[in-house]
Amino acid sequence: MQFLRKCLHPSEIAQVQRLAAVPSPSRSAAPSFAVSAASPAASSQLPSAQLESVSRFLASRWAAKEALTKAAGKRLLFPDMCVERDMTLGAEDPRARLSLSGEALAWSASRGLEPAPLLSLSHDGEYAVAFVCLQRLGEAQPQPQQQQVQQGGLRGVMNT
């Protein structure tokens, strides 16, 4: 658990615990936290799909936070950064976003930066990659534009 507290925001720790919840055989409706996500025995007790889900979650959070640290050019504490889902485009297109707190937020404010850096996050198989863009306060964020698309007699709307 100490590793998680050093790397994740408290809300992300709660998400890991939900992902690693092992259903209790006696009460299948209520999950019990039979294993700690940070314990060495956790990986041997989690089903393969569940272990993959927890691993993907942790790798993507690490990649996003490492990308922000590199963009900042300064060591920022990982628990002061939180990767969240941005639902502004609706549930069909949730995007990841970074929110800052504590020293990371104070550092951002002292430099005149937007409090929520732009984040692009992707993972495939064993790999996770993230890109972060820091913006000065007041700079316009690019908004997705809808374009009419016509292909082979089909019409639709595409977000770009």
Per-residue pLDDT reduced to its tens digit, 31-70: 434 344 445 455 556 667 777 778 888 888 899 999 999 9
93 neighbors 55 (Cβ within 8 angstroms): no
pLDDT in tens, 91-148: 666 678 899 999 999 999 999 999 889 899 888 878 899 999 999 988 755 555 554 5
> How many Cβ atoms from other residues are within 10 Å of residue 153's Cβ?
5
Structure tokens at 146: 């809808």
Report the alpha-carbon distance of residue 63 to residue 69 in Å, rounded. 10
| Kind and range of the H or E run holding 150 | strand 146-151
| CA proximity to 95, closest of 74, 67, 113, 117 | 117
Select the more confidently predicted residue: 78 or 47: 78
| CA proximity to 20, closest of 40, 38, 5 | 38
Cα 99 to chain centroid distance, Å, stands at: 10
Structure tokens at 148: 């009419």
| Domains of the chain by residue range | 2-159
CATH superfamily of 2-159: 4'-phosphopantetheinyl transferase domain (3.90.470.20)
Tell me what the mean pLDDT of segment 141-158 comes to.
51
Structure tokens at 85: 């889902």
Q: Note the pLDDT of residue 80.
A: 93
